[in-house]
Amino acid sequence: MEFGTKLIHGGISQDQTTGAVSVPIYQTSTFAQSTLGGSPAYEYSRTGNPTRLAVEKLIAELENGAAGYAFASGSAAIHTVFSLFSAGDHIVVGNDVYGGTFRLLNTVLKRQGLNFTAVDTRDLTTVASAITPKTKAIYLETPTNPLMHISDISALAKLAQQQNLLTIVDNTFASPYVQRPLDLGADIVLHSASKYLGGHSDLIAGLVVTKTEELGEKIGYLQNAIGGILAPQDSWLLQRGMKTLAVRMAAHQKNAQQIFEFLQQDSRISKIYYPGDPNGTDYQLAKRQMDGFGGMISFELTTDLSVKKFIESLKLITLAESLGSVESLIEVPAIMTHGSIPEKIRLANGISNRLIRLSVGIEQVTDLLGDLRTALNAAQNFY
């Protein structure tokens, strides 16, 4: 089955008992058991729920993995994956990971005895030299948020295998339409499904897929033990959103490409970060590793333009955190999504106070270009 067909017919796409073409919302906490001491398919909804199972089977198929699990948020998914490790274990992590991940690792998991070394995962030598006898995994995002750095998943997974480490990829920015890390050798792929997978800014959810059944059983055990599960109504809404992932991603990518070309020819834009920039350092790798370049663009205005005035002059493009939705969203990472990262570390990683991140929506692109043009003019005339 092709990817776009899997989205509609993959996993459990119909109700077995009634034939309902939309999986019903099994809004129940428990399930009647027919015999004492039997092993029923469902017993309690934290452990398993048919609506959640449908979306879990679907994401496992989309990522070409053995098992999928759905969580109440991307953060809950990440926390559950890191619960594979024990006090004293060391993990090499990307130095440009999602701000909330940075916070979870540094203010929660460190206290519980895990150790981390943050490195630029684009540099294999640096990654290799960060590995210690206590290292258990390499954890990365590609493309990164918000600088769109691309790391070579195959090369990192090969290095990890040689040292008996797990490779864990946060695939939120690409979505499985654009990139499938398990095919490239990763062991675990995870998502904030609040972004492209849900796709409509109406849901918080997280997904995890493992390459092997064995790893899947471990994540399943932790999902039930920790309990950060996705509820039936949200599981249904997530699957409903995922059905259109292919058509949405094609539109996101087409619009992003045109906005990139528009920004590139405007002298008031001093920097652009976009995986599809042919002059970008990671372009060849992005072309090889991804099916398209995604819908995210970050950029900086020249210093004679007011960032505040630019953002506040936009009428269509909405100032908001989050990304991957049908409507275009814009934000300033330094004071929004990445505000929890200490300034010194943030600046050292290249996230300046003037950096703007745009999640390109699927509106008619001419309207988006018009909005950007008007706001640029307003920001220029401001001083």
Ligand X SMILES: *Cc1c(COP(=O)(O)O)cnc(C)c1O
- Kindly give, in sequence order, each residue whose CB lies less than 8 Å from that of residue 373, ignoring residues fewer than 6 positions away: none
Q: Tell me which of 46, 158, 218, 240 is the catalytic residue.
A: 46
Pairing state of beta strands 329-331 and 318-319? parallel
- Kindly give, in sequence order, each residue whose CB lies less than 8 Å from that of residue 37, ignoring residues fewer than 6 positions away: none
Residues that bind ligand X (CB under 6 A): 73-75, 98, 100-101, 141, 145, 170, 172-173, 192, 194-195, 204, 206
Give the residue with the Cβ less far from ligand X, 290 or 365. Answer: 290
Nearest distance from residue 335's CB to ligand X, in Å?
17
Nearest distance from residue 199's CB to ligand X, in Å?
13
103 is catalytic: no
Give the residue with the Cβ less far from ligand X, 306 or 338. Answer: 338
Residue carrying structure tokens 């040689």: 162
Give the residue with the Cβ less far from ligand X, 82 or 173. Answer: 173
Q: Six-digit token pair at 328?
A: 């275009």
Q: Tell me which of 96, 170, 234, 282 is the catalytic residue.
A: 170
Nearest distance from residue 357's CB to ligand X, in Å?
10
Give the residue with the Cβ less far from ligand X, 74 or 232. Answer: 74
Cα(313)–Cα(378) distance, integer angstroms: 7
110 is catalytic: no
Pairing state of beta strands 90-94 and 115-119? parallel
Nearest distance from residue 142's CB to ligand X, in Å?
10
List b or e across 317-351, with b for residues whose CB sees 16 or more CB atoms inside 10 angstroms. Answer: bbeeebbbbeebbbbbbbeebbeebeeeebeebeb
Nearest distance from residue 101's CB to ligand X, in Å?
6
Tally of CB atoms within 10 A around 198: 25
The residue nearest ligand X at its CB is 74
170 is catalytic: yes
- Any bridge partners for residue 190, and if so which? 170, 208
CA angle in degrees (0–180, nearest 5) for 84-90-95: 105
Nearest distance from residue 168's CB to ligand X, in Å?
12
Q: Are 232 and 52 in contact (CB under 8 A)?
A: yes
- Any bridge partners for residue 44, and if so which? 30
Tally of CB atoms within 10 A around 227: 13
248 is catalytic: no
Q: Tell me which of 195, 211, 243, 346 is the catalytic residue.
A: 195
Give the residue with the Cβ less far from ligand X, 50 or 99. Answer: 99
Give the residue with the Cβ less far from ligand X, 45 or 175. Answer: 175
Residues with catalytic roles = 46, 98, 170, 195
